[in-house]
Amino acid sequence: MTPTEIREIETLAAFANELADTAALQTMALFRSGLEAHDKGKKPNFDPVTAADRGAERAIRDHIAARYPDHTVCGEEFDDRIGTSPYKWLLDPIDGTKAFIVGIPVWATLIGLLRDGVPLLGVMDQPFVRERFTGTPFGTVADGPLGRRTLRTRTVPALSSAILASADPYNFTSAEDAERFHALRAKVRLTRFGGDAYFYCLLAAGQIDIVIDPGLDDYDVAALVPIIENAGGMITTWTGESPLKGGNIVATANATLHQTVLDVLVG
Amino acid sequence: MTPTEIREIETLAAFANELADTAALQTMALFRSGLEAHDKGKKPNFDPVTAADRGAERAIRDHIAARYPDHTVCGEEFDDRIGTSPYKWLLDPIDGTKAFIVGIPVWATLIGLLRDGVPLLGVMDQPFVRERFTGTPFGTVADGPLGRRTLRTRTVPALSSAILASADPYNFTSAEDAERFHALRAKVRLTRFGGDAYFYCLLAAGQIDIVIDPGLDDYDVAALVPIIENAGGMITTWTGESPLKGGNIVATANATLHQTVLDVLVG
C-alpha cells in the first residue's frame, strides 16, 4: 500500500466514525423514550421500524452526500443512491431494532464501506454502552469502557469447547435451517441468544467462537466483514460463499474452525 | 414512616450502592479478560462460575461484615452467614454468568436487602454500561447514560400488544413449563431473549410488559422485588405465590396484566 492509499483509508475510517457519531445523536434521543413501533410487515415475525431508524439513516446519508456526493449509498430504510465513485456505503442505522424497542443496549449502528465491491472498512457503534468496533486493513479495534484495544479472535481446541451465539432461535423460519442450527448447538459448550451485531464483534474480540444467523441482509453484513476478517476471523454463507449478498451467515474465529462448522451445517 | 425509619432506609440504600461499587471493581477487572470458566455441574446446562463471581461476592461480604457484623448474608457462591439482626442480604455477584463469559454487557450484580423476611430494597448494577437500578419504598430509580430517572411500569391495552422477555428458551427444562411459556409467547406481540436481570429492570422502566423465567434462586429474585414493586409492577411465582423462595418466576407491569398472564400459565 502506498502512503497515499494508507492516508485515504485513514481518512475514510475517521469519516465512518463521524457518521457513527451523527447516527448516535438520532438514536440516543429516542432510545427508551416510549416511541411507537410500527410493523413493516415484510418479515414473518414482528418487524418494527421506528423514527430512530429513519432519523439515523437520514442523518448518515446527509453527511455522506455533503462530503462525498459521488459515493453510492445503500441502507435499510431508504432507496439506493447510485454514485459514480468505486466507493459504496452500506448502512443499517439500527441493527437489532427489537433490542432497541425492548430497551436492552445490544442494538448497534452498522456502517460498512466497500471499494469496487470489496469490503474496505466497517464500524459497529453502541452509543448507550459507548462501545465502538472499527475494522480496517490496519486491524480491528474496540473503543469503549475498557479503553482502546486491538482485537484478535481466539483459538479453541475443539468444537466441544466452543461458544456459539445467535440472535434468536425463532429466526430460523425454515425447518431445515433450524435443524442444522440445532445440530451445531448440540456440539458446542454454550449457546447464547440476544446479541445481534454485537455477537460478531465479540467474536472479533476473542470472546465468542461461532456466530450464526439466518436471512441477514447485505447491510447487516457489510460492516461486520472487515471487523471480523481483520481480527483473524472468517465470515461466509452457510455454504462457504461470500457473505456480501446476505442470506444464512456464519462467522468463526479461524479457518480450521470454520471448515468444521460448515461440515456440520452441510449435514 | 418516622423520620428515623426514613433515614435508616436511606442509609442502607446508600450502603447497598457502595456494595455495588465494591463488586464492580472485582467484576470489571475480569470482564473480557480471557478468564477460564469452570463448570459447577449443579445444573443441567453448562453452569460456569468464575473468579469474578467469587471475588465480587467476597468483596461485598467483607464490606457488610465490617459495617454491619450482625446482618445475615446469603449469596450464590459461599455459605450463609446467620446474624442476629432482622436484616438479611441476598447476593448474586454476577447474575448472567453466561453473558459475562460471552462478553455481552447484560449481566448484573444483584444486591437485595430483606427486613424480617420482607424485601426492603434492591440494587441491580451493570458496571460496563454504567447503569444502575435501585428500588426502595421511596421509588425505583435508574442512574445511567440517560441521567437519573424515576421509573414506572407502563400499561398495555391487551396481551396481544405486550412485549415478553426471558433469559433463554432452553432454560425451560420441564416440558410442561416450556409448553406454558410457548402458550404465552404465542399470545404476545414480541418476545426477546438474552437479558437476565436486566429485563426485570426494563420492565420497571416501562419498556417490557412481562418477564418470565424458570428455576430462579432466591438471590436472583430478592433484589428485583423492590425494583419492580416500587415502580408499579408485580412479581410472583407462576402460581401467584411469593417469589422470595425462587422457582418459576413471572413479573408483569401491573395487577390486571398479571392475572391475565397467570391464567395463561395455569393453562
> Which residue from B102, B146, B202 is facing A163, i.e. has the nearest CB?
B102
> Which residue from A99, A128, A202 is facing B103, i.e. has the nearest CB?
A202
pLDDT at residue A85 is higher than 50 = yes
Distance from CA of A152 to the nearest CA of B (A): 12
Helix ranges, chain A (H) = 3-30, 51-67, 97-102, 175-185, 197-204, 218-221, 224-229, 255-266
SS3 B126: strand
| Locus of grid cell 455477584 | B93
A47 contacts in B (CB within 8 Å)? Answer: none
Residue of A nearest to B99 (CA): A192
pLDDT at residue B108 is higher than 90 = yes
* φ, ψ for residue A175, nearest 5 deg: -60, -35
User: Judging by beta carbons within 10 Å of its beta carbon (0-12, 13-18, 19+), is residue A54 exposed, middle or buried?
Assistant: middle
Given CB atoms, is A198 within the 8 Å cutoff of chain B? yes
Amino acid B213: pLDDT: 96
**Average pLDDT of A50-59?**
91
A249: CB partners within 8 A, 6+ apart: A211, A212, A213, A214, A216, A220, A221, A235, A236, A237, A238, A243
- How far apart are the C-alpha atoms of A16 and B208, rounded to whole Å? 33
- How far apart are the C-alpha atoms of A229 and B213, rounded to whole Å? 37
Cell of B50: 468464575
**Interface residue of B31, B104, B193 to substitute, partner A, most A CBs within 10 Å:** B104
> Which residue from B170, B193, B205 is facing A194, i.e. has the nearest CB?
B193
Residue type present at position B97:
T
pLDDT at residue B256 is higher than 90 = yes
- How far apart are the C-alpha atoms of A32 and A44, rounded to whole Å? 25
**Average pLDDT of A43-57?**
71
Given CB atoms, is B99 within the 8 Å cutoff of chain A? yes
Distance from CA of A233 to the nearest CA of B (A): 16
Given CB atoms, is A240 within the 8 Å cutoff of chain B? no
Tens-place pLDDT, residues B180-223: 999 999 999 999 999 999 999 999 999 999 999 999 999 999 99
The conformation of residue B138, written as its DSSP 8-state character, comes to: T
Start-to-end Cα distance in chain B? 41
Do B193 and A191 lie within an 8 Å CB cutoff?
A: no
CB B249 within 8 A of CB B235: yes
ipTM over cut 0.90: yes
- How far apart are the C-alpha atoms of A136 and B80, rounded to whole Å? 51
Neighbours of B82 (CB within 10 A): 10
| Locus of grid cell 408499579 | B232
CA distances from A226 to A48, A118, A137, B81 (A): 28, 10, 8, 52
- How far apart are the C-alpha atoms of A109 and B147, rounded to whole Å? 22
Given CB atoms, is B137 within the 8 Å cutoff of chain A? no
> Which residue from B98, B131, B191 is facing A192, i.e. has the nearest CB?
B98
Q: Which of A47-56, A123-132, B71-80, B94-103 has the lowest mean pLDDT?
A: A47-56
Residues in a beta bridge with A101: none
Tens-place pLDDT, residues A96-145: 989 999 999 999 999 999 999 999 999 999 999 999 999 999 999 999 99
Cell of B203: 420492565
pLDDT tier at A37 (50, 70, 90 boundaries)? low
Do A192 and B130 lie within an 8 Å CB cutoff?
A: no
A168 contacts in B (CB within 8 Å)? Answer: 192-193
* φ, ψ for residue A129, nearest 5 deg: -75, -20
| Locus of grid cell 483459538 | A155
| Total residues belonging to chain A | 267
The C-alpha angle A123, A21, A122, rounded to 5 degrees, equals: 10
**H or E element, residue B121:** strand B118-126
CB B11 within 8 A of CB B36: no
B202 contacts in A (CB within 8 Å)? Answer: 102-104
- How far apart are the C-alpha atoms of B52 and B243, rounded to whole Å? 27
Given CB atoms, is A215 within the 8 Å cutoff of chain B? no
Tens-place pLDDT, residues A162-171: 999 999 999 9
**H or E element, residue A87:** strand A87-95
Do A104 and B34 lie within an 8 Å CB cutoff?
A: no
Amino acid B36: pLDDT: 54
| Locus of grid cell 396481544 | B160
Distance from CA of A3 to the nearest CA of B (A): 35
The pTM of the whole model exceeds 0.90: yes
Strands A190-193 and B190-193: unpaired
**Interface residue of A98, A100, A104, A126 to substitute, partner B, most B CBs within 10 Å:** A104
Amino acid B35: pLDDT: 65
